[in-house]
Amino acid sequence: MTHRVHTSGVGMDSQTIRFTMVQKIQSQGLQDARVAQALRAVERHRFVDSALVPQAYEDTSLPIGMGQTISKPSVVARMLALLCEGRGGPLGRVLEIGTGCGYQAALLSHIAQEVYSIERLRGLHDKARENLRHLCLRNVQLILGDGMLGFSEGAPYSAIISAAGGMGIPQAWFDQLAVGGRLVAPSESPNGQQHLVVIDKTDSGLVHTVLEPVLFVPLKSGVS
Ligand code: SAH
């Protein structure tokens, strides 16, 4: 069904623009059908300020307030595809660190059975709650808290994804990851360069894989 929006800037049919965005990301290498379906389903323009709506379907990161940004769609797609890699069915319980505006949490709700998303800034936690309200996603729980400590109440997680990068990976995330689970996060090396890292928790321990350089907002401790 075609869904028409009247928000200025996406005056056209937003579904067509969104499908074009997804096709572009697929032509750049996205292969996972579940991630593509989620990207087609979630209206990114509803998660940004009205002034930024015209850019909502460009492959660009956008400010979401409080000095934070929503990642570019191709990077979100890349991280979600890494989470899904090699798994037949939907992901089980997922922990997202850095709810931000709630866009990625909405995507996760399409590819996971249960989503716990934690944000340390009250202003953004509230904004995400507002953005997600009309979607009525029954499998998403938003938490205000310090994601560096993970969220032990929901552990163990079959997947953990972070939208903020610090020096290395907090121990709590390893502890709260299920055996057979996968963690995808930006991580800063001592030279200050951030890379995307994938960590698989296997029967015989943690397997780290360092991927391409990325640029995410900093992972900070505490709630404010
Ligand atoms: N996934 C988000 C991206 C938000 S940017 C989206 O789709 O909009 C990353 C977010 O991580 C920021 O909102 C920032 O406040 C948050 N963050 C940084 N450190 C954190 C921590 N320790 N715990 C929880 N959230 C954190």
Can you state the percent helix, strand and coil of the chain, rounding each to 5?
35, 30, 35
Whether 219 lines ligand 1, by a CB cut-off of 6 Å, is: yes
Arithmetic mean of pLDDT, 63-70? 97
Q: What percent of the chain has pLDDT over 70?
A: 95
Atom 26 in ligand 1: residue holding the nearest Cα: 98
Atom 2 in ligand 1: residue holding the nearest Cα: 100
Name the band, by pLDDT with cuts 50, 70 and 90, for residue 10: low
Question: What spacing in Å lies between the alpha carbon of 99 and ligand 1's midpoint?
Answer: 5
Handedness of CA 96, 209, 181, 24 (dihedral sign): positive
Handedness of CA 43, 48, 54, 56 (dihedral sign): negative
- Mean pLDDT across the chain: 94
Give CA–CA dist 143/88, Å, rounded: 28
What pLDDT score was predicted for residue 5? 46
Q: 166 CB contacts (<8 Å, ≥6 apart)?
A: 148, 187, 188, 218, 219, 220
Name the band, by pLDDT with cuts 50, 70 and 90, for residue 13: confident
What pLDDT score was predicted for residue 104? 98
pLDDT digits (tens, 9 = 90+) for 32-64: 999 999 999 999 999 999 999 999 999 999 999
Asked if the bond preceding 73 is cis, omega within 30° of 0, the reply is no
- Does residue 9 register a pLDDT over 60? no
Q: 126 CB contacts (<8 Å, ≥6 apart)?
A: none
Give CA–CA dist 157/55, Å, rounded: 34
- Does residue 222 register a pLDDT over 60? yes
pLDDT digits (tens, 9 = 90+) for 179-211: 999 999 999 988 889 999 999 999 999 999 999
Of 109, 121, 167, best ligand 1 pocket probe by most atoms within 8 Å of the beta carbon: 121
Atom 18 in ligand 1: residue holding the nearest Cα: 219
- Does residue 11 register a pLDDT over 70? no
User: Contact at 8 Å (CB) between 41 and 110?
Assistant: yes
Chain mean position to CA 40: 15
Name the band, by pLDDT with cuts 50, 70 and 90, for residue 131: very high
Tokens of 161: 């994804």
Question: What spacing in Å lies between the alpha carbon of 223 and ligand 1's midpoint?
Answer: 11
> Which amino acid is present at 43?
E
Atom 17 in ligand 1: residue holding the nearest Cα: 98
Whether 170 lines ligand 1, by a CB cut-off of 6 Å, is: no
* Predicted structure pTM score: 0.95
Q: What percent of the chain has pLDDT over 90?
A: 89
What pLDDT score was predicted for residue 88? 82
Q: Which domains does the chain have, with CATH numbers?
A: 58-218 (3.40.50.150)
